[in-house]
Amino acid sequence: MVVGDFAIDLETVVIGAGPGGYVAAIHAAELGQKVTVIEREFIGGVCLNVGCIPSKAMIQAGHVYQDATNSSYMGLSVGQTSLDFTKTIEWKDKVVHQLTSGVASLFKKHGIDVVWGNAYMKDNHSLRVMNSDHAQTYTFKNLIIATGSHPIEIPNFKFNGRVVDSTGALSFKEFPKELVVIGGGYIGCELASAYANLGAHVTIVEGKDSILSNYEADLVKVIKKHFKEQNVAIYTSAMAKNAEQTADAVNVTFTVDGKDQTIKADDCIVSVGRRANTADMGLDKTGVKVDDHGLIPVDAQGRTNVSNIYAIGDIVAGLALAHKAMYEGKVAAEAISGQSSTVDYRAMPAVCYTDSEIATTGLTVAEAKDRGLDVKKAQFPFMANGRAITLNSTDGFIRIVYMKDSGVVIGAQMVGPDTSDLISEITLAIEAGVTIDDIALTIHPHPTLSEAIGDTADVGIGFPTNI
């Protein structure tokens, strides 16, 4: 290993090139800072390489497969639909390459330097980067830590061979005809839905009393219906016990209702949560505080208790979402440039890309009442929406939560077709202080899914024209 025996002075350093890190780096460069990114694996981080983007590519492949297989109700018949899984993975990889190479091009455009290796803190103003053949010390004026998170491994389910985390689940060499998913959160359910659509028989094992327990029960009810139609088996209040691998299978044992059950599967995905990447990087050599969960406390500008060190994304409090990290990255970059920007949002949209999609933003009725707010709700079913009917996708609904006295919109929950796109209208409405009457007065094109938002508002003002 070549060792640099002198320190190289840098201005703004970003550790991690995931969504939060690369957005922070680009925006800092746009603001005139000289930026260096330290990355140990790949540009784009988990999201672009082995998370958000490739999983949505696989989900889309599943949708297309289902459309090709089940279109006779429209009078459309195709030949025998088949899956060439190798080509599916190749297509997924092409999507990933297009996006990650795009980020690399933006780094070049903005003069952002990339140093490859693992970063280890030395103190509040210096760090050391090490890789397989080089070690170098750097000093910095300002630092943004954007190291993201990693999947949690559970006892007796070590990630190896046929037992994989969410990363491995997107790179199977062969298509798993029988698949077990440990964990019924949004990542587990998305992967279960994708592989079920591609033709796998999927079993979900969830420790809590419901899958997708962070969402309201009436939203999850629609997802359970779709899983039943996909022949997905769901075991709740079930505890994963062990996984024993053979040459051609993995036997997954779990306990439910006090009895052990074993399923023979091709592969087992473990998706029980993620943990912040803050250990083993030398933060104890700095003054940066880290809580018991490995999260770094920050102020409204993303600044830690050390004034020149910032932290964003999965390593700080809040939802572990790529778009949240991006937002925080911009704020941190602006704070370093001396601007008064702060993290100040009224609504943070979240999406689960199952069949159908769940999308939420702002507060639920229960959350609003917990805060002492007097609210009302308006709800409209997709079965009464013309576009949803033409798509043969009528399950689900849109619900808008608003203040009883002023009509100001404070939240929304949706389950149904393309709600991942529809939720942005309500997020903007919340940020802008829009009322339920304003939405009702907004002309939505016909026939569209967005028209259901206007119809929901009509319910709220007492004139439900279409139901």
* 285 and 405 part of one domain: no
Q: What is the pLDDT along the chain (467 residues), one digit of tens a residue?
A: 556 568 999 999 999 999 999 999 999 999 999 999 999 999 999 999 999 999 999 999 999 999 999 888 899 888 888 999 999 999 999 999 999 999 999 999 999 999 999 999 999 999 999 998 889 999 999 999 999 999 999 999 999 999 999 999 999 999 999 999 999 999 999 999 999 999 999 999 999 999 999 999 999 999 999 999 999 999 999 999 999 999 999 999 999 999 999 999 999 999 999 999 999 999 999 999 999 999 999 999 999 999 999 999 999 999 999 999 999 999 999 999 999 999 999 999 999 999 999 999 999 999 999 999 999 999 999 999 999 999 999 999 999 999 999 999 999 999 999 999 999 999 999 999 999 999 999 999 999 999 999 999 999 999 999 99
Closest among 166, 159, 218, 201 to 187, alpha carbons compared: 166
Per-residue tokens: 72: 């006779």
Do the annotations mark residue 208 as ligand-binding? no
* 262 and 279 part of one domain: no
Do the annotations mark residue 294 as ligand-binding? no
* 237 and 210 part of one domain: yes
Please give the pLDDT value at position 100: 97
Number of CB atoms found within 10 A of residue 6's CB? 6
* 19 and 137 part of one domain: yes
Please give the pLDDT value at position 268: 98
Q: Which of 256, 272, 288 is the last residue of a domain?
A: 272
- Summarised one tens digit per residue, pLDDT across range 416-447 is 999 999 999 999 999 999 999 999 999 999 99
User: Does 43 reside within a domain?
Assistant: yes
* 395 and 408 part of one domain: yes
* 405 and 451 part of one domain: yes
- Summarised one tens digit per residue, pLDDT across range 204-234 is 999 999 999 999 999 999 999 999 999 999 9
* 7 and 144 part of one domain: yes
Q: What's the predicted TM-score (pTM) here?
A: 0.95
Do the annotations mark residue 183 as ligand-binding? yes
The HSE-up count of residue 373 (CA atoms within 13 Å, CB side) is 21
SS3 455: helix
Residue by residue, DSSP assigns 42-100 as -TTHHHHHHSHHHHHHHHHHHHHHHHHHS-GGGT---S-----HHHHHHHHHHHHHHHH
User: Does 95 reside within a domain?
Assistant: yes
The HSE-up count of residue 456 (CA atoms within 13 Å, CB side) is 31
User: Does 311 reside within a domain?
Assistant: yes
* DSSP code for 328: H
Do the annotations mark residue 199 as ligand-binding? no
Residue 55: φ, ψ to 5°: -65, -40
Do the annotations mark residue 264 as ligand-binding? no
User: Does 405 reside within a domain?
Assistant: yes
Do the annotations mark residue 361 as ligand-binding? no
Active site residue 446: yes
Q: Which of 248, 272, 296 is the last residue of a domain?
A: 272
Please give the pLDDT value at position 77: 85
User: Does 467 reside within a domain?
Assistant: no
The residue range of the domain holding 388 is: 350-461
386: domain CATH number? 3.30.390.30
The HSE-up count of residue 137 (CA atoms within 13 Å, CB side) is 10
For residue 417, cis peptide bond before it (omega within 30 degrees of 0): no
Do the annotations mark residue 189 as ligand-binding? yes
User: Does 343 reside within a domain?
Assistant: no
Q: CA-to-CA distance for 41 and 17, rounded, in angstroms?
A: 9
Residue 405: φ, ψ to 5°: -80, -45
User: Does 310 reside within a domain?
Assistant: yes
Please give the pLDDT value at position 1: 54
Residue 388: φ, ψ to 5°: -60, -35
244: domain CATH number? 3.50.50.60
Question: Which residues make Cβ contacts (< 8 Å) with residue 46, sequence separation at least 6?
Answer: 18, 148, 149, 167
8 Å CB contact between 90 and 171: no
* 249 and 167 part of one domain: yes
- The alpha carbons of the chain give a radius of gyration, in whole angstroms, of 24
* 94 and 191 part of one domain: no
Do the annotations mark residue 12 as ligand-binding? no
Please give the pLDDT value at position 194: 97
User: Does 157 reside within a domain?
Assistant: no
Residue tagged active-site, from 97, 125, 444, 446? 446
Q: Which of 272, 296, 315 is the last residue of a domain?
A: 272
Per the structure, the count of domains in the chain is 3
Q: What is the dihedral of CA 49, 52, 58, 62, to 10 degrees?
A: 180
* 244 and 179 part of one domain: yes
8 Å CB contact between 123 and 242: no
* 146 and 124 part of one domain: yes
Do the annotations mark residue 47 as ligand-binding? no
Please give the pLDDT value at position 135: 95
* 400 and 251 part of one domain: no
Question: Which residues make Cβ contacts (< 8 Å) with residue 372, sequence separation at least 6?
Answer: none
Please give the pLDDT value at position 3: 60
Please give the pLDDT value at position 62: 96
Closest among 410, 389, 388, 390 to 400, alpha carbons compared: 410
8 Å CB contact between 179 and 47: no
8 Å CB contact between 146 and 38: no
Do the annotations mark residue 187 as ligand-binding? yes
Q: CA-to-CA distance for 295 and 304, rounded, in angstroms?
A: 11
